Amino acid sequence: MYITICERLNYKKAVPADDSGAAQEYTIVESITDSSIVSSLKYLASYSPNLQQQIAQLLSQNRLTDYLLQKYPTVSDIPNDAALRGYVMDLKNQYLRKSQPLSKIVFDKKIHVVNNALGLHSFVSRVQGGKLKSKNEIRISTLFKNAPHEFLNMIVVHELAHLKEKEHNKAFYQLCRHMLPDYHQIEFDVRVYLTHLEEKGEVYMSQSAINKT
């Protein structure tokens, strides 16, 4: 079962017709009576109550792990800063070739979801030799070393878009969708993943743990 976010994006998703030829609506799962579960979904607060209830039900039935593993069965193969830089620069050269250069691209263990940040694009100004020099840096939470590649792709696209659009406005999200057409759906699933990490713990076994098995 996949959960789509069509209602949040204000467009209709084609659904199969029944025997009478009439289009069918997706069935919304039964409401959650435990309001504490829904209220704890802070990463999904901007989504509709229906979507929050669906995730809350998966949580309460211990099915959220299966939801994530079925949709995203493997983790990213970008384990270090060198691989991350190559990956980010490939995307930048493909979509934002004329944008400002990046002086640093690294994983950063100091970036943590509790600070409401998964990646950072910083514009750093320093005085060097009596001259003011500006540099752009992208830092990605180390959380994405052990997460699906699609999730890393989404956060990298997000930070790259800030090279051109500093604010989270319409132009910013249009640029994100240009680089990643499923941007909004994957962002939703990233937030579901963060919810799982906070409520249930890890989903994917780390490479170091795999090597020990």
- CA angle 154-157-160, nearest 5°? 150
The DSSP 8-state label assigned to residue 40 in this structure reads: T
- Sign of the CA dihedral 2, 49, 175, 94? negative
Name the residue among 68, 82, 75 with its Cα closest to residue 189: 68
pLDDT tens sequence across 71-96: 999 999 999 999 999 999 999 999 99
pLDDT attached to residue 33:
33
SS (H, E, C) 60-127: HCCCHHHHHHHHCCCCCCCCCHHHHHHHHHHHHHHHCCCCCCEEEEEEECCCCHHHCCCEEEEEEEEE
Amino acid at 207: Q
* DSSP SS3 for 59: helix
Where do the domains of the chain lie?
81-181
pLDDT attached to residue 179:
98
pLDDT attached to residue 126:
52
pLDDT attached to residue 65:
95
| Average pLDDT over every residue of 156-182 | 94
pLDDT attached to residue 145:
92
Phi, psi (deg, nearest 5) at residue 140 = -115, 135
pLDDT tens sequence across 96-105: 999 989 999 9
Per-residue pLDDT band at 32 (split at 50, 70, 90): very low
Where does 81-181 sit in CATH, by number?
A: 3.30.2010.10
